[in-house]
Structure 1
Amino acid sequence: MAVVLTIIAVLLLLWWLLRFVPAGVEAHMPMPYSTALDRHLWVPAVIGAVWSAALGCWWGAALYALLLVLVIAGESPYYRHLFGRTANTSQATANTATDGTGHSGASADGVIRAMTLNCRYGRADAENIVRLVRERHIDVLALEELTDELVERLSHAGLNTLLPYCQQGAQHAGDNGGFNAIWSRAEPVGRIATFLNIHAADVPAITIDADAGDTPGAPSNPGRQVTFAAAHTKSPMRGCREWSYGVQALDAIATSPEPVVVLGDLNACLDHRCLRDVLAAGVHDASLDVAHGPTLTFPSWTPWPRIELDHALANSGVVFHSAQAITVRDTDHRALLVTLSVR
């Protein structure tokens, strides 16, 4: 048994180390799925260490302990505040405080509230989505896996009253579970149906004044502008290589001269090399910036084991203040809500 436990420990270590293979190598089944579970390898690490120690197999116990250390190290970027690099929690708290009417009143200080949600083939509860937009005073909403029928239900529920401006991606037969769209409270100064070249659903985008007034249609103060895009990279099961290329294409926002925010279901987490390469190129992630743990969004129906597939990414022109996941009825992803401001 001691030999078996040691062999299992070696195999688990090799599993964890697969996260360092090049992104192109990673794009082969079942690696995207096995790598996504890296953060949960602490479970067999703890069980194996205790079992090995009970049997007096100290080599095996040491290997399992090493695996546990590696798993913790892989998660450590989400907890920088424990090491003295504390996120601006007071600012985040101020940004999410309400005035008792469901409005935070933070638009005056340039804070923008954004939300993204994968709608699961258009099945998400429209009333639930609109209620979140209203209660959380969302300024920008990005939705993925949309259908015309869900867009109609959202309109009927009052979304167009709250967020009157919308840009949809063009619909194609090979869309990634549905098309993407993005809504805005402020009138866009620019819009486009395809912002990034991702071989999945089109990536629609809108550009707004960062200092736009809080009331729809109100005049804005010209100056700082920010572009928001709704993205949904292909699921690995629908095309593993296209998934990897789609995630890697997100690094294009790092070199944009204007502030850019990409919201959406990216089908990748920090354990995936392709996403880490994007972050290394100069893109930053809301959860990593806030540094209070990953914002776990999938699957919605169980608290464990969840992973972080939905993200808010931005270039250096944007600062994230908070990130939160909220369950929405009838979809397998949780909504990701972030607050941000433009530098």
Structure 2
Amino acid sequence: MTRTLAEPEEERLERRKPGGGVVTALLALVSLGFLAWAALRLAGMEFDRYTVALVALTPYALLTGAVIALLALLLRRWLTLLIVGLVTVALAFSVVPRAVSSTAPAQGVALRVLSINTYFGQADAAAIVDLVRQHEVDVLSLQELTPELVGRLDAAGLGAELPHRVFHAGPMADGSGIAARYPLRELDLLPKSTLAQPTALLQRPGSPPVEIAAVHTLYPMGADTYSRWRQEMIDLGQLRLTGTPRVLAGDFNATLDHARLRSLIGTGYTDAAAATGSGLRATWPAGWFPPPVALDHVLTTPEIAPQSFDVFPVSGADHRAILATLVVK
């Protein structure tokens, strides 16, 4: 009589799972990659250009975790489902609230702020002026403002719409500027930065004065630019809140998942996009590769209440323009 040895219980259960051990190993490998990616955001780990890039893609990590968890459920890999599911939920608590509006109608004076990175001054000047005119913009923040673009903006009629300006135009990405419907007095709020970041006091009749900063921190993805980007983000966070309403508008080269931007917001600012439920609307690139992320922001101090936020493509620019409607209380 032939005797058969009893198959070990754990091997029998593994064999019964769809795909067997090979699928288990592949799913575990993919899950480990996801967990490492998620850990960067959850632990606030940014230490070079590569981790900065991965953190910027956190909303895509959330989607990845959801897909892996669904696969683990369908394939009955319960431990993988538990671990990946918990981490995905943790990411969701970080990402989802920015897509839910927390604003309430506020009493005060409306202030419409438009900001755009003009891609080395190549953005369509007429399209920018059309946005200003169509949306009755009060303040325009321009990054990568070149002397040539200034000439084209003037030819398109910017001066008639926004006659007051503090422009620090420069070659390539160096320049930035602020144009406004009401008088501006140049300030010196920020330390010297790689790219121009002018600041000014907007003096509007019937409203408290408002400090405006055209933000453009250095692109952190170069071989030697991460540390400078980090320092410039820290410098923004060291701006003391004095009770004077303030708007920081521009290209921060950071998303709401970056620890440096979260630290800045934690000093007392509100992100207008997140407050109005538009925090997942991408602003760069203008196309679909690399995966679009939100690098451009309008931040406000407690004396200002965001009311709406929108995003617009502009021909010739690699960033989308952002428009925030605010109320100065």
With the shorter chain as reference, the TM-score category is 0.7 to 0.9
The aligned residue for residue 217 of structure 2 is: 233
Percent of pairs identical after alignment?
A: 29
CA–CA distance in structure 1, aligned partners of residues 290 and 268 of structure 2: 31
Letter paired with 2:137: I
Query: How much has 1:112 moved relative to structure 2?
Result: 0.9
CA contact (8 A) 2:276 2:307 kept: yes
- TM-score when scaled to structure 1? 0.82
Spell out, residue by residue over 1:250-301, the C-alpha distance to the aligned partner (whole angstroms, 9 max, x if none).
2234523311111100011111011111111212211222235433211222
Alignment check: 8 A CA contact 1:116 1:142 kept: yes
Per-residue Cα deviation, 1:179-231 (whole angstroms, up to 9, x for no partner): 0000011122x213x5312532121122122xx3xxxxxxx34x611011101
Instruction: Report the equivalent of 1:196.
Output: 190
Q: String of CA shifts for 1:105-137, please: whole Å, max 9, x gaps.
A: xxxx51011100000111101110000000011
Asked if the contact 2:147/2:169 (under 8 Å) is kept, the reply is no
Q: Secondary structure at the match of 1:281?
A: coil
Confirm or deny: 8 A CA contact 2:103 2:306 kept in the other structure: no
Q: Which stretches in structure 1 are left out of the alignment for 5+ residues? A: 96-108, 213-219
Paired residue type of 1:191: E
Change (3 A) 1:296 1:63: same
Residue deviations 1:12-65 (CA, integer Å, cap 9, x gap): 12211212445xx62412111011011111332233223333333222222332
Aligned to 1:75: 95
Rounded Cα–Cα distance in structure 2 between residues aligned with 1:122 and 1:143: 9
1:260 and 2:282 aligned: no
1:146 alignment partner, SS class: coil
Residues 177-192 of structure 1 aligned to structure 2 (within 5 Å): 177-188=173-184, 190-192=185-187
Q: Distance in 2 between matches of 1:130 and 1:58?
A: 57
Asked whether 1:45 is paired with 2:45, we answer: no
Kept in 2: contact 1:231–1:263 (CA 8 A): yes
* Residue from 38, 42, 63 that aligns with 1:16: 38
Whole-angstrom CA distance in 1 between matches of 2:79 and 2:42: 24
**C-alpha distance in 1, partners of 2:239/2:280?**
22
Q: Greater Rg, structure 1 or structure 2?
A: 2
User: Partner of 1:105 in structure 2?
Assistant: none
The Cα shift of 1:160 comes to 0.9
Q: Does 2:311 align with 1:331?
A: no
| Residue in 1 that maps onto 2:149 | 150
Judge conservation of contact 1:254–1:283 (CA < 8 Å) in 2.
no
What's the counterpart of residue 138 of structure 2?
139
Q: Is the 8 A contact 1:6 1:63 kept in 2?
A: no
Separation in structure 2 between the aligned mates of residue 271 and residue 61 of structure 1, nearest angstrom: 24
How many residues get paired? 305
Secondary structure at the counterpart of residue 111 of structure 1:
strand
169 and 195 in structure 1: CA distance in 2 versus 1, 3 angstrom threshold: farther
Using the alignment, how far apart are the partners of 1:287 and 1:53 within structure 2? Answer: 35
The 8 Å contact of residues 254 and 315 in structure 1, kept in 2 or not, is answered as no
Q: Distance in 2 between matches of 1:198 and 1:260?
A: 19
1:290·1:322 contact (CA, 8 Å) conserved in 2? yes
Match of 1:159 in 2: 158
2:126 alignment partner AA: E
Matches within 5 A, 1:227-306: 227-238=211-222, 239-302=225-288, 305-306=291-292
For 2:119, the equivalent position in structure 1 comes to 120
Structure 2 unaligned blocks of 5 or more? 1-22
Deviation at residue 303 of structure 1 after TM alignment: 9.6
SS at match of 1:206: strand
Q: CA RMSD in A?
A: 2.3
